[in-house]
Amino acid sequence: MSMQRLSRKAINDIIGRVSDETAAAIVATGATEEQLMEARQWSIGDSSLSEEEGRPLEGVVAELYDILTADAATRVEEDARRR
């Protein structure tokens, strides 16, 4: 993966389709693809990350985690309203 800034295509490839607002928030962090992949792992509860002693969630990855989990919560709320 590349260390350059994220494109919309890269975002879609890594985490799936998201709203324009969410994509803009992700790009605004200045994150790399690697950071977005790590944040995705945290957001889906990848146990391998939590098993690593002393591995904190911080910096850009923490920002991305907040964006991803907020987006997921919004999707759940929208799905519930449609039912």
**Which one is predicted more confidently, 48 or 21?**
21
Q: What is the mean pLDDT of residues 60-71?
A: 92
Contact indicator for 65, 42 with CB cutoff of 8 Å = yes
Provide the pLDDT confidence category of residue 1 given band limits of 50, 70 and 90. Answer: very low
Q: What is the mean pLDDT of residues 6-15?
A: 94
Which amino acid is residue 60, in one-letter code?
A: V
Q: What digits encode the pLDDT tens for the residues 32-59?
A: 999 999 999 988 886 566 555 556 788 9
What pLDDT shows up at residue 12? 94
Q: What is the CA angle 38-67-48, rounded to 5? A: 25
pTM of the predicted model, to two decimals?
0.76
